Amino acid sequence: MEDRSEHLNFASVVQTIALVILESFLTFLLQSDRQSKKLAQHLIHQQALVELRTTFPSTVIFVTFTSRGVLLDAKRPERPIDAVITASLKDLIHGFFTAPASSMRRIQIDGPIELIEELRVLMSSFNLQEIINHWVQSDWFKSLLVPTKTVDENGEPISNGRSSRHHRALIKKLNDQQLLVDQMNLQAKEQMYVIEKLHKRMKLMMIIGMIILAGLVIGLAGTLIHFMH
């Protein structure tokens, strides 16, 4: 019994340490990625509590969005759950690294429709591939790539003030262009999600219509057979 108790205590300590490390890492990514932070603003404002259920292995983690970042807990907080995400560990890992469409479709989310849409959009942006792309397009990274000119177009020396202003103007222009591209990508993702959702509804309505039509045909055939006899 003592060995079992020590084993459980050790497993609890390991789980706590793993959650703290993962919590710090996710918070760092969320705080450093402007686009993901913007998408999570409503979740942060309402301090959404999400129950994350994984299969293979089976684990339950509670995720809370706060102004300080993401909080992870193995024990359920004393408040209602806003949404439940159910997925295999494999799909979650794939979704976090590259968010392939096949893995994202297999991730199930239960809760209010608006919250489900917000989580879907956030998950499509909050992955390492997208975050690294956002970092590459950031001002500080561009400043490493854009060379500082020491002479102007006429070959005249450029003072530090003029060079700095020219540098900042060029970076601002590139940043504005990238912001426009990011907004267009986000709108495209939202539209694709809405289109996919409408497609599923239309498919369901077609199936229901076919069932109703088949029922009417069977009923009409039965009525005709009854009167014929």
- Specify the pairing of strand 108-110 against strand 59-66: unpaired
85 lies in which domain range? 2-112
Return the axis-axis angle of helices 89-97 and 128-136, rounded to nearest 10°. 10
CATH of the domain at 7: 3.30.1050.10
Q: Are both 165 and 216 inside the same structural domain?
A: yes
* Residue 132 in domain: no
Residue pair 149/165 in contact (Cβ under 8 Å)? The answer is no
pLDDT digits (tens, 9 = 90+) for 122-140: 988 888 888 888 787 776 6
pLDDT digits (tens, 9 = 90+) for 11-69: 777 888 889 999 999 999 998 888 888 889 999 999 999 999 998 778 899 999 999 89
Q: Are both 149 and 205 inside the same structural domain?
A: yes
Is residue 157 helix, strand or coil? strand
The tally of domains found in the chain comes to: 2
* Residue 184 in domain: yes
In terms of Cα–Cα distance, which of 61, 66, 89, 92 is closest to 77?
61
Whole-prediction pTM: 0.61
Q: Are both 104 and 11 inside the same structural domain?
A: yes
- If 0-12 CB within 10 Å is exposed, 13-18 middle and 19+ buried, where does residue 71 land? middle
Q: Are both 168 and 212 inside the same structural domain?
A: yes
One-letter amino acid identity for 160? N
Question: What CA–CA distance (Å, rounded) separates 166 from 224?
Answer: 86
Q: Are both 160 and 91 inside the same structural domain?
A: no
